[in-house]
Structures are given as structure tokens and as C-alpha cells.
Structure 1
Amino acid sequence: MPYHYETDGAAIYRQSFATIRAEADLARFTAEEEPVAVRMIHASGLVELAPHIRFSVSFAAAARTALAEGAPILCDARMVSEGITRVRLPASNPVLCTLHDLHVPDLARAMGNTRSAAALELWRPHLAGAV
């Protein structure tokens, strides 16, 4: 007997977010923070993440404004950058992960540090207003 499962991506997506909202304690988040917390929980697959999420004052509003104005999104891991759904970005924001930049290995050696630390150095021209 074949197993029947949901194959409609949009339905799966809706159910995932409904499950998060039903199972995670989101009461302490402001109206602007809640959708961000829900996305973080969705990305991690852990409703248990909710009590560990902290926002600085007005972060969610500032980030939303920055994204709407086209700010770049800086990621320190390919997995994170690849997980961003580009079509949902408000201004076709560039998503930058410099970890695989050709200069990173040499820069890491020159710095006497890790490739990850060297990759962050390449963010400098993009930091102003970035998310």
C-alpha cells in the first residue's frame, strides 16, 4: 500500500508555520519580532528555539527597513546563504557569503586565523547598513 503524503509545497509551507505558531511560545515577541522568530524557528526546525531568541530594541523594524532599502545580507556560512529564499526579499537584496572567495585562504594564512575569520574581513566594503 503506498504512503500518501502532502506534495503541495505551498500547503506544506502553510502547515509548517501553523505548527510553529501552535507549538512555540511566541507571546513575549512584539508584532514586528514574531514573524522573524517564526522564520528562525522554521529555519532551525526547533520550536524549542523560541525562549533563546533575543532581539535588541527596534532591531526588527530596523532590519525590515534596511531590507526594503536594498541592504545586502551578509552570511558567514554557505548553508545560511543558500537557505535564503531570494524571491521573498523585498528589494532583490544581494546575499553575500565570502567564505569561498578565492582570496580567503591566502588572507587566512596572512592573518594567522581561520578561513571563516578571513571571509568576514571581506565584508568590510558591505557593512554599512547591511543585515
Structure 2
Amino acid sequence: MFDYVRDPAEIYRRSFAAIEAAADLTRFDGAERTLAVRLIHACGMADIAAYLVMSNDPAQAGRVALAAGAPILVDAEMVARGVIAQRLPTDNRIICTLNDDGVREHAADLG
């Protein structure tokens, strides 16, 4: 029998501790480090840290854009459903075009 962790706060803590242990975050500090950890958490791939390039305070730019009502473009229905609208500063539109007319055909054309 498995001993599962059932406490959401503990799961969350362990998840972020695992990211800190697995990813090379040494070149990030402050808000950039927090953003890098969140991106890794979102995709589950610690190796993306090596490919992240940030400038001009991207976390603050994102907060400003969201506060101004900018839409959120996502690439999967699961992600769209996972955005917690109540935590957004405005009534930001969440856009996922994955199932729009013609997308499947366009993807097939691209190979």
C-alpha cells in the first residue's frame, strides 16, 4: 500500500522543493527566479531553465498587462480550464484556438 500525501499545502511545498532541487536556477534572482520556477511547475520540465531568457522585469510586465485587461493566450484546453479567473485582476479573456475551425487542417499542412 502507498502512503500518499493528501494535504494540498504539503503537495505544493514538495512540488516546488523538487523544482528547486532539479533545476539550475543560479542565474535567476528575485522575481525572475519566481517566474522561472512557476514556468517549470506549469510544464513539468526542469530543463527549460537553461532556455529561459528574461529582460525588463517580465513578471511586472505581465502584471501590468493583466491589470490592463490583456487576454491570456494558451495552447491547450486543459490550461484554459486551469486558469483561476477569480485570481485575475480584471475580466481577462482566456483564448485557446486549438479546437477552432481549420486548426487541424492547418497543422496537417505544416506537417
TM-score, length-scaled by structure 1:
0.65
Q: Structure 1 89/35 Cα, relative in aligned 2: closer, same or farther at 3 Å?
A: farther
Q: Structure 1 12/25 Cα, relative in aligned 2: closer, same or farther at 3 Å?
A: same
What is the number of equivalent residue pairs in this alignment? Answer: 107
Distance in 2, matches of 1:74 and 1:13, equals: 25
Residue by residue, what CA displacement relative to the aligned partner does 1:33-55 show, whole Å, maximum 9, x if unpaired? 22221111112212222111122
- Residue 55 of structure 1 is matched in structure 2 by 54
Which secondary structure state, in structure 2, belongs to the residue aligned with residue 29 of structure 1?
coil
Q: Structure 1 3/77 Cα, relative in aligned 2: closer, same or farther at 3 Å?
A: closer
Which secondary structure state, in structure 2, belongs to the residue aligned with residue 65 of structure 1?
helix
Contact 1:99 1:115 in 2 (8 A): no
1:91 maps onto 2:83 in alignment: no
Residue by residue, what CA displacement relative to the aligned partner does 1:28-79 show, whole Å, maximum 9, x if unpaired? 1242222221111112212222111122433332112112333210123324
Unaligned runs of 5+ in 2: none
- 1:88 offset after TM fit, Å? 3.7
Distance in 2, matches of 1:70 and 1:98, equals: 19
Residue by residue, what CA displacement relative to the aligned partner does 1:60-119 show, whole Å, maximum 9, x if unpaired? 321121123332101233243234344443334221112323xx22xx6xxxx7169xxx
- Residue 70 of structure 2 is matched in structure 1 by 71
Unaligned runs of 5+ in 1: 117-131
- Residue 36 of structure 1 is matched in structure 2 by 35
Which secondary structure state, in structure 1, belongs to the residue aligned with residue 63 of structure 2?
helix
Q: Structure 1 52/92 Cα, relative in aligned 2: closer, same or farther at 3 Å?
A: same
Measured on the aligned residues, the alpha-carbon RMSD in Å equals 2.5
4+ residue stretches of structure 1 with deviation over 6 A? Answer: none
Contact 1:26 1:34 in 2 (8 A): yes
Q: Rg larger in 1 or in 2? A: 1
- Between the aligned residues of both structures, percent identity stands at 47
Letter in 1 for 2:46: V
TM-score, length-scaled by structure 2:
0.74
